[in-house]
């Protein structure tokens, strides 16, 4: 029997009938490939650097005797938690997760278009819904693992100057677990929300920098926006979930934070909407590689 | 009933059927009103640069949507990717690959996405690599492959799931003569198994060698399609016939007695003769009578221009010169 | 004798001076920049601000016109270094950042992506003249939208104000030129260094934007947590604010929060960033390519 006949027999051996079982196998296959790419490729280096930056700051804060003003960095555990809330809100959520999601999720499709390799996916017998979902889940997992780990490590480093006893006491009393859970939940929702938006803009815009700069501008200035516009800002919904409310400065338009369920379901709704839009865009994608 | 409708009626779902397909990139024409049926066997797609070959191939492979008209491959439309791409393999002209993979991973990943289980994936990957003779280099990064190796790994990726329809855009580019022979044999093997193989190429003599049929495109329009003798007879152009005979000089001197002779040219060795006739059938009939009456000895006789190159020369180059 | 030995004769005539070869790179890179309609639009929009300020200065000195609006000269603020900083230099700094963000990362990355470096550097062009040629484009365009209209405004104001205004405010033209050039050169070199690593234009732009955003936020966070000089060292914009306030002799209270950093340190910060970027560039721009 020739190689060709043998291969033909093998190819037909397991009857691949389209249906949930096949879709699940395809989803897992794409997820594994994309997760590997998002986590271990050269492009992932930027995300590692982003995730390490807050860890570095907390490590310095933990081992530093005092700050430049002469006093201790953390005056008390309450003050430390407030500082954590501030750093989490400004640096981890507003910058690290935002830029990290932009990098991971924009690359999912736009990266492959720029590498001229998207056609390999489009030439496989995969429903576009499966392809988009698998890629999105891979990006989400990568983002959450990296930035979730970053949040956990920073949170643990926060307790270092107060000793392990304080950490154990806070864990058992539930303060630490509740706060850490909330921060992790916000990180997950941020990855979901920003990720789905950046995945869609990655397909929609030839130059992905334009939406990133526009969204960054919108998110940075959300605090001065009127209430009717604030609701279109992801960070407004996420900041409403923070365990410690943040002061947004003298220029901020003060508005009561949205109810928790609105923030959570709003983010899930945004995610569903943008993933559906991505599927639509992918179905109408014309593979025509041009110079950047 | 127009031609497109006729094709639609005739189509039994076993071929590639294009119904009045047009593709425009804004104001620029890709291909215009193409109705075509590609049967099992090897079909060569020929045309000058910018004639719309790659556009047509990308349309058939579902990588770009049509502006007008519809395409079906064995009865399935590209809008149903889960069944469409199970039967189609496409070796593109794009010389690019996913970042950071080696040859083995490249094929294996494709098969995993198809939904094959682990052991079938591994077996099919190895078989595809064997078919393109790339087993030894399989674990090397694709980025480090030579042009020929990249071409072969793309081919392996196109055939790894044993598709019924194989579409190949310039598949012989960068291959050395031995690899070319192997790859051509592989195409023939596919065609002999009743599969459809469509090859786009600029190398006319190779298309001539491989193809059962040709499709000629020019400036986005379908110029001709079918087997070579059929196209040649439909062109209505003088046909070139080569006659090998020891009496070639005598024949050359007297052949103009016959009607329909346009040109006669003696071969350099004096034992052969090229004749151009405007009506091949009438010529053969009259020439037979003449041979009998003159007692000439004819060693062989046959058409000398049933080649893609000749048809290309006539239908495309001469038309371009004329316009 | 081989045929090429009979036919080939190397060029033995005089070579053009090295500077003119740098200008060849400059000329072609400049032409490339103007191929983008988006940039052309941006460039002309950038010139609207000086045009508006020119009109404002004219109105400022037109007593009849002012009286029609019931405004007396005493109601108006004095035009001095602070006014120039607020009305001209600060908006221009943002425009210059956007300009460098748009075209800086696109200068080198396409040459690296298309393996053009061996072609450039096999001519009598060295790394320095290549970088200078590209840098000149940004300096030229940046100057046209920053200190050149700044000088025009300055002389218009001096002409209309008369008296000793010119002598009293001679620091303004010097400040405009030095601040703009420092900002353009430093940002451009950082953008070049990024694009020398990232071969795709879009990714290079995103990376450059991410680095600048991250450095600013990190600087702000460090300032809030630890205080002291360390906060500003990573924040390029903080250095610019210090340099600008000093050179314009501007009132820091009116400018808002200006970091408490020595001018010398701000200059050192700019020099360090530029030198680091230059080091990266000389390392990455080579006359050979490395194949994986």
Q: What's the pLDDT tens digit per position in B124-138?
A: 999 999 999 899 999
In this structure, the number of other CB atoms found within 10 A of the CB of residue C261 comes to 20
Specify the pLDDT at position B107: 96
Contact assignment for C221 to A67 by CB distance below 8 Å = no
Q: For residue A12, what are its two tokens?
A: 């037909």
Name residues whose C-beta falls within 8 Å of residue A91's C-beta, 6 or more positions apart in sequence: A53, A54, A57, C217, C218, C221
Check pLDDT > 80 for residue A5: no
**Model confidence pLDDT, tens digit, residues B219-244:** 888 888 887 666 666 665 667 788 88
Specify the pLDDT at position B5: 42
Specify the pLDDT at position B9: 40
Asked if the structure places residue A289 within a domain, the reply is no
Check pLDDT > 90 for residue B88: yes
Domain count across chain A: 1
- Chain C residue numbers with beta carbons less than 8 Å from the beta carbon of B141 are 292
Specify the pLDDT at position A11: 62
Mean predicted lDDT score pLDDT of chain A: 87
Q: Is B120 exposed, middle or buried (0-12, 13-18, 19+ CB in 10 A)?
A: middle
Kindly report the CATH number that applies to the domain delimited by B236-322. 3.30.70.100
Q: In terms of Cα–Cα distance, which of B238, B269, B264, B268 is closest to B251?
A: B264
Asked if the structure places residue A288 within a domain, the reply is no
Question: Contact, B322 vs B268, CB < 8 A?
Answer: no
- Please compute the mean of the pLDDT values over residues A5-15 and round it to a whole number: 61
Find the DSSP H helices in chain A: 3-12, 20-40, 44-63, 77-87, 98-106, 112-114, 118-122, 128-159, 163-173, 175-204, 209-220, 227-230, 234-239, 260-283
Q: Bigger pLDDT: B16 or C198? A: B16
Q: For residue B167, what are its two tokens?
A: 């579409």
Q: In terms of Cα–Cα distance, which of B109, B113, B108, B38 is closest to B81?
A: B113
| Domain residue ranges in chain C | 18-284
Specify the pLDDT at position A290: 63
Question: Contact, B30 vs B137, CB < 8 A?
Answer: no
Which pLDDT band, with edges at 50, 70 and 90, does C133 fall under?
very high
Q: In terms of Cα–Cα distance, which of A172, A158, A182, A159 is closest to A243?
A: A182
**B145–A contact, CB cutoff 8 A:** no
Q: Is A124 exposed, middle or buried (0-12, 13-18, 19+ CB in 10 A)?
A: buried
Asked if the structure places residue A101 within a domain, the reply is yes
Check pLDDT > 60 for residue B8: no
Show the domain range for A166: 25-283
Q: For residue A274, what are its two tokens?
A: 């943008």
Strands B165-169 and B196-200: parallel
Question: Contact, A212 vs C206, CB < 8 A?
Answer: yes
For residues B279-293, one letter each, b for 16 or more C-beta atoms within 10 angstroms of the residue's C-beta and e for the rest, the string is bbeebeebbeebbee
Which pLDDT band, with edges at 50, 70 and 90, does B4 fall under?
very low
In angstroms, what separates the C-alpha of B79 from chain A's closest C-alpha?
8
Contact assignment for B186 to A122 by CB distance below 8 Å = no
**B121–A contact, CB cutoff 8 A:** no
Q: In terms of Cα–Cα distance, which of B10, B7, B55 is closest to B29?
A: B55
Min mean pLDDT across A74-88, A260-274, C181-195 is at: A74-88
The domain at B3-232 falls in which architecture? 3-Layer(aba) Sandwich (3.40)
Contact assignment for A120 to B25 by CB distance below 8 Å = no
**Model confidence pLDDT, tens digit, residues A86-135:** 899 989 999 999 999 999 999 999 989 988 899 999 999 999 999 999 99
Which pLDDT band, with edges at 50, 70 and 90, does B1 fall under?
very low
**Model confidence pLDDT, tens digit, residues A54-80:** 999 888 888 776 666 666 777 788 888
| Domain residue ranges in chain B | 3-232, 236-322
In angstroms, what separates the C-alpha of C287 from chain A's closest C-alpha?
23
Specify the pLDDT at position B11: 41
Strands B41-46 and B213-218: parallel
Binding-site residues on chain C for chain B (CB distance < 8 A): 291-292
User: What is the DSSP-derived secondary structure letter of residue B240?
Assistant: E
Q: For residue B260, what are its two tokens?
A: 């329909």
Which pLDDT band, with edges at 50, 70 and 90, does B7 fall under?
very low
Q: Is A126 exposed, middle or buried (0-12, 13-18, 19+ CB in 10 A)?
A: buried
Min mean pLDDT across A51-60, A215-224, C68-77 is at: C68-77
Mean predicted lDDT score pLDDT of chain B: 84
Asked if the structure places residue A3 within a domain, the reply is no
Of the partner residues A3, A112, A124, the one whose CB lies closest to the CB of residue B131? A3
In angstroms, what separates the C-alpha of A176 from chain C's closest C-alpha?
21
| Separation of alpha carbons C93 and B94, rounded Å | 42
Percent of all residues in chain A with a pLDDT value above 90, rounded to a whole number: 52
| Separation of alpha carbons B28 and B24, rounded Å | 6
Chosen from A61, A95, A208, A219 to mutate, greatest number of chain C CBs within 10 A: A95
Check pLDDT > 50 for residue A273: yes
- Please compute the mean of the pLDDT values over residues B284-300 and round it to a whole number: 85
Which pLDDT band, with edges at 50, 70 and 90, does A184 fall under?
very high
Query: pTM for this one?
Result: 0.83
- Chain B residue numbers with beta carbons less than 8 Å from the beta carbon of C115 are none
Chosen from A120, A132, A284 to mutate, greatest number of chain B CBs within 10 A: A120
Specify the pLDDT at position A292: 53
Using CB atoms, which chains have 3+ pairs under 8 A with C? A, B
- Please compute the mean of the pLDDT values over residues B102-116 and round it to a whole number: 94
């Amino acid at each position: 029997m020739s190689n060709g006949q043998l291969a033909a027999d093998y190819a037909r051996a397991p009857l691949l009938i389209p249906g949930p079982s096949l879709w699940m196998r395809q989803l897992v296959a794409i997820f594994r490939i994309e997760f590997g790419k998002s986590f271990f490729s050269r492009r992932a280096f930027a995300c590692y650097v982003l995730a390490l930056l807050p860890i570095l700051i907390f490590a310095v804060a933990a081992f530093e005797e005092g700050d430049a003003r002469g006093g201790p960095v953390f005056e008390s555990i309450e003050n430390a938690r407030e500082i954590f809330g501030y750093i989490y809100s400004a640096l981890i959520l507003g910058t690290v997760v935002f830029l990290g999601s932009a990098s991971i999720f924009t690359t999912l499709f736009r990266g492959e278009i720029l590498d001229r390799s998207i056609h390999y996916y489009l030439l496989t017998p995969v429903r576009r819904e499966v392809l988009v979902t698998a890629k999105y889940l891979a990006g989400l997992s990568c983002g959450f693992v990296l930035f979730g780990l970053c949040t956990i490590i920073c949170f643990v480093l926060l307790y270092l100057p107060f000793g392990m006893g304080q950490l154990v006491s806070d864990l058992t009393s539930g303060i630490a677990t509740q706060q850490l859970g909330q921060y992790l939940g916000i990180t997950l929702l941020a990855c979901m929300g920003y990720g789905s938006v950046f995945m869609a803009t990655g397909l929609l815009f030839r130059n992905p920098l334009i939406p990133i700069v526009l969204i960054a501008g919108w998110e940075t200035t959300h605090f001065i926006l009127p209430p009717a516009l604030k609701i279109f800002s992801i960070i407004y919904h996420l900041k409403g979930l923070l365990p410690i409310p943040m002061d947004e400065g003298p220029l901020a338009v003060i508005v009561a934070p949205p109810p928790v369920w609105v923030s959570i379901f709003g983010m899930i709704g945004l995610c569903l909407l943008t993933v559906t839009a991505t599927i639509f865009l992918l179905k109408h994608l014309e593979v025509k590689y041009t110079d950047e | 009933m127009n031609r497109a409708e006729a094709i639609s009626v005739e189509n039994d779902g076993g071929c590639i059927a294009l119904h009045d397909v047009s593709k425009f990139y804004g104001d620029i024409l890709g291909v215009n009103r193409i109705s075509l049926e590609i049967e099992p066997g090897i079909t060569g797609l020929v045309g000058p640069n910018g004639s719309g070959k790659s556009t047509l191939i990308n349309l058939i492979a579902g990588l770009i949507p049509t502006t007008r008209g519809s395409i079906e491959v064995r009865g399935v439309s590209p809008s149903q990717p889960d069944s469409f791409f199970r039967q189609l393999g496409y070796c593109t002209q794009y010389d690019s690959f996913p970042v950071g993979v080696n040859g083995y991973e490249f094929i294996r990943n494709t098969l995993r996405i198809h939904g094959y289980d682990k052991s079938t994936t591994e077996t099919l990957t190895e078989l595809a690599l064997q078919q393109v003779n790339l087993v030894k280099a399989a674990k090397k990064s694709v980025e480090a492959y030579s042009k020929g190796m990249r071409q072969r790994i793309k081919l392996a990726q196109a055939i790894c799931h044993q598709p019924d329809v194989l579409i190949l855009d310039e598949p012989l580019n960068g291959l050395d003569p031995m690899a070319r022979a192997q790859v051509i044999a592989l195409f023939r093997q596919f065609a002999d198994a009743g599969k459809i193989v469509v090859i786009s190429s600029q190398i006319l003599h190779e298309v001539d060698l491989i193809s059962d049929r040709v499709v000629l495109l020019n400036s986005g329009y379908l110029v001709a399609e079918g087997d070579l003798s059929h196209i040649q007879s439909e062109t209505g152009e003088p046909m070139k016939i080569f006659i090998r005979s020891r009496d070639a000089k005598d024949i050359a001197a007297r052949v103009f007695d016959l009607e329909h002779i346009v040109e006669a040219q003696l071969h350099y060795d004096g034992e052969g003769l090229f004749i151009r006739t405007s009506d091949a059938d009438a010529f053969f009939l009259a020439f037979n009578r003449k041979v009998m009456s003159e007692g000439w000895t004819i060693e062989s006789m046959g058409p000398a221009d049933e080649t893609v190159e000749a048809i290309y020369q006539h239908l495309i180059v001469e038309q371009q010169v004329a316009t | 004798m081989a045929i090429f030995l009979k036919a080939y004769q190397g060029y033995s005539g005089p070579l053009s001076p090295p500077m003119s070869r740098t200008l060849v790179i400059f000329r072609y890179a400049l032409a490339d920049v103007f191929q983008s309609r988006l940039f052309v639009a941006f460039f002309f929009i950038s010139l609207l601000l000086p045009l508006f300020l020119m009109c404002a200065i004219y109105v400022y000195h037109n007593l009849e016109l002012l009286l029609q609006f019931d405004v007396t000269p005493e109601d108006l603020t004095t035009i001095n270094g602070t006014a120039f900083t607020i009305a001209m230099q600060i908006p221009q700094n943002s425009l210059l950042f956007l300009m460098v963000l748009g075209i800086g990362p696109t200068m080198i990355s396409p040459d690296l992506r298309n393996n053009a470096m061996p072609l450039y550097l096999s001519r009598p062009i060295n790394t320095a003249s290549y970088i200078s040629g590209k840098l000149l484009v940004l300096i030229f365009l940046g100057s046209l939208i920053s200190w050149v209209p700044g000088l025009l405004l300055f002389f218009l104001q001096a002409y209309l104000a008369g008296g000793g205004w010119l002598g009293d405010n001679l620091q303004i033209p010097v400040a405009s030129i030095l601040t703009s050039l420092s900002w353009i050169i430093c940002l451009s070199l950082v953008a070049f260094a990024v694009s020398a690593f990232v071969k795709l234009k879009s990714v290079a732009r995103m990376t450059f934007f991410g680095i600048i955003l991250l450095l600013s936020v990190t600087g702000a966070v460090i300032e809030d947590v630890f205080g002291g000089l360390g906060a500003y060292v990573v924040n390029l914009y903080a250095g610019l604010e210090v340099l600008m306030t000093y050179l314009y002799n501007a009132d820091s209270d009116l400018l808002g929060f200006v970091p408490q950093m020595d001018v010398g340190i701000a200059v050192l910060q700019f020099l360090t960033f530029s030198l680091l970027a230059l080091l990266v560039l000389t390392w990455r721009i080579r006359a050979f390519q490395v194949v994986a």
